[in-house]
Structure 1
Amino acid sequence: MRCLIQPFYLPPDIIIPSLYKRKVRGLCGTYDGRYRNDFTLPDGTRVSSLNVFGNSWKVEDRDDDDYDWEGDDDDDDDDNEDDNEDSRMRQKPQESNRQRYRREIVGEDTDPEPETGFTAACSPDQLAVMNSTAYCWAIADPQGPFRDCHYNVDPEQYYQNCLFDLCQFYNNSEMLCASYETYVQVCQTNGTTLSNWRRETSCAMACPPHSTYKSCMAACPPTCANLAASSECDAPCMEGCECDRGYVYSGFDCVPYSQCGCTYRNKYYEVGERFITDDCSEDCTCNKTQTVGCFSMRCPENRTCSVINGNRACVLDGTCASSPCKNGGTCIQKEDKYECSCPALYDGDLCEDVTKVIIVAVVVVVVVLLIVGAVLICFCCCRNRGSKRSDTTSDISSLSSDIDLKEIMRQIEDDQRHGGISNPRFNY
């Protein structure tokens, strides 16, 4: 999987290879080629409502008791967890990227057709306001701030998406600016740079310290993890916050080169960031000297090395936090246990087995084929035997007739020579 994490003002770009087919779930769908089952809730229920589906995947605060960052005893975990929470986990700003994607239909599906997403959540009066040039119509307005891009990118889809979002979150200025940003990003990807739209729409971008807004900056700016990122990137320019001279991105902040963090096992960590290695064998911290300090660790018997909110941790067994379900199964948390809701063709407690129905079907097909084959063989054999028997009987009858005729003729000739007929067959 290639994951391009851009600066905070741009949405992340995640590209998943085919080996993850039927092994993902959530807002991106099921990745099985069937769009009708994409709207699947965390409990495995399928719905057609876009709003119900989207809201069901809203991430709530997870119970800290479900995971252990140090691999120590449970009591020690509870004492230290609150103090270390900020240093362990940094929440990334949520992006309001409303682009909608639709994958190719591979086959027929029995699930209901999902809703298109556009529902009139606004009243007629509210919809009229959102349709004005001060709101969503600005995207499609032939005289508006985005007019220079209309030739390259049809604004209709983005205008409709804006109406949908602004009716769901009525008169939300952040949502409105996010709708504009989405269209601008697509325009710049297609070679059209829009320079003045933020001033005309009151959507000024707030940049972090030591950075300046640019309408056209490198799509892959230098970072502490890769100072040569710009030279290796061939993507078109994008608007954003460019770090000032002498500064570079470290996460979401522009820092002096001397304050860059650490690279350990091909991963970048910010100064002061604490992390656990992928095998949960080391608990490490990135120091100010750009060195990594680690100490050995191991997960207790009742915990498994897994990923929680994008971070490696020792996860308490028996919970959905350990991601126990296989083959795309959905974990359903109960009071004292969990259950796996398995997709089609899989079965078992962890969705690890091929369903018994498939096995039975295969066995039945094989048995039927064997029976049909045996019947055909018997039929052919019996037919051949009958044909041979008929031919033999005919030959014997013909031979017997020839023998009788010859015997009669011989007897007649003998009787004629002796002056009478001695054969009883001719006694009258």
Structure 2
Amino acid sequence: NKSHSLVLQNKFLWDHKTTVRIILQPQHMEDVCGLCGNFNGNAKDDFTTQGNLPTTNIMEFVDSWKVSSNCPDAKPDFNPCFETPNRETWAKIQCSIIKDIKGPFKDCHNKVDQNPFYENCVKDSCACDTGGDCECFCTAVAAYAQACNEAGVCVNWRTPEICHSESSASFHKKKR
């Protein structure tokens, strides 16, 4: 069994908290595979097992990429709001900034579907119940802001009351 490898020049962006972004150069399109997908521009076929079989079963997908048979199987997806029902109301209120038709993201709604970002925000915000509660919320909202920015809509959503960050307060990237 031969081992194949490809050395890629890429960027790893880490917010020193909860998010890592991997950015590959366009010449590497369709040269990669794995947990981050195959980089062919079609997110619908990113769930492909290590055996190159498409799947809709997230557990099968994740487990196929284990590097060692000693690694335990991934745990089934669960809804943390069921585990911490007292957090669900708070999470839904906080995350409503994403869907608010009069809010800071209103210009992005027709460019990027807010529903999956809202659902992820609620789920992530429910899961962060051990201190740093706002960190997961802020990261989830920032993911939607990033998607909006990539769609050409620059959203200035951080305020002193909502996810204020010294490092990002003056950073505002707009695509031209």
* TM, length-normalised to structure 1: 0.29
Rounded Cα–Cα distance in structure 2 between residues aligned with 1:27 and 1:7: 15
Q: Give 1:199's aligned residue.
A: 159
- Residue 207 of structure 1: SS of its match in structure 2? helix
1:39 maps onto 2:62 in alignment: yes
- Residue 12 of structure 1: SS of its match in structure 2? strand
State how 1:7-406 maps to structure 2 within 5 Å.
Answer: 8=15, 11-15=20-24, 18=30, 21=33, 30-31=49-50, 32-35=52-55, 36=57, 37-40=60-63, 43-47=70-74, 49-50=76-77, 118-132=79-93, 135-170=94-129, 172-195=133-156, 197-199=157-159, 201-207=161-167, 213-216=170-173, 236=175
Closer/same/farther in 2, CA of residues 137 and 4 from structure 1, 3 Å limit: same
Contact 1:136–1:163 (CA<8 Å) still a contact in 2?
Answer: yes
Residues 214-234 of structure 1: CA distance to partner in whole angstroms, max 9, x if unpaired? 2126xxxxxxxxxxxxxxxxx
Contact 1:3–1:12 (CA<8 Å) still a contact in 2?
Answer: no
Contact 2:91–2:125 (CA<8 Å) still a contact in 1?
Answer: yes
Contact 1:139–1:155 (CA<8 Å) still a contact in 2?
Answer: yes
Larger Rg: 1
Closer/same/farther in 2, CA of residues 175 and 130 from structure 1, 3 Å limit: same
Contact 2:81–2:126 (CA<8 Å) still a contact in 1?
Answer: yes
Rounded Cα–Cα distance in structure 1 between residues aligned with 2:30 and 2:92: 41
Rounded Cα–Cα distance in structure 2 between residues aligned with 1:122 and 1:167: 8
Deviation at 1:125, TM superposition (A): 3.5
Rounded Cα–Cα distance in structure 1 between residues aligned with 2:32 and 2:104: 41
Contact 2:95–2:121 (CA<8 Å) still a contact in 1?
Answer: yes
Contact 2:99–2:118 (CA<8 Å) still a contact in 1?
Answer: yes
| Superposition RMSD in Å | 3.4
Rounded Cα–Cα distance in structure 2 between residues aligned with 1:148 and 1:47: 38
Rounded Cα–Cα distance in structure 1 between residues aligned with 2:167 and 2:22: 21
Structure 1's consecutive aligned runs of 4 or more residues displaced over 6 angstroms after TM superposition are 26-29
Residues 278-325 of structure 1: CA distance to partner in whole angstroms, max 9, x if unpaired? xxxxxxxxxxxxxxxxxxxxxxxxxxxxxxxxxxxxxxxxxxxxxxxx
Contact 2:98–2:114 (CA<8 Å) still a contact in 1?
Answer: yes
Residues 29-85 of structure 1: CA distance to partner in whole angstroms, max 9, x if unpaired? 8553434322225525544514xxxxxxxxxxxxxxxxxxxxxxxxxxxxxxxxxxx
Q: Which structure's residues are more often strand, by fraction?
A: 1
Larger mean CA deviation between 183-192 and 170-179 belongs to 170-179
- Residue 185 of structure 1: SS of its match in structure 2? helix
Rounded Cα–Cα distance in structure 2 between residues aligned with 1:2 and 1:19: 12
Q: Give 2:5's aligned residue.
A: none
Rounded Cα–Cα distance in structure 1 between residues aligned with 2:36 and 2:149: 25
Rounded Cα–Cα distance in structure 2 between residues aligned with 1:123 and 1:6: 31
Deviation at 1:165, TM superposition (A): 0.7
Contact 2:97–2:105 (CA<8 Å) still a contact in 1?
Answer: yes
Closer/same/farther in 2, CA of residues 7 and 165 from structure 1, 3 Å limit: closer
Contact 2:117–2:140 (CA<8 Å) still a contact in 1?
Answer: yes
Rounded Cα–Cα distance in structure 1 between residues aligned with 2:140 and 2:62: 22
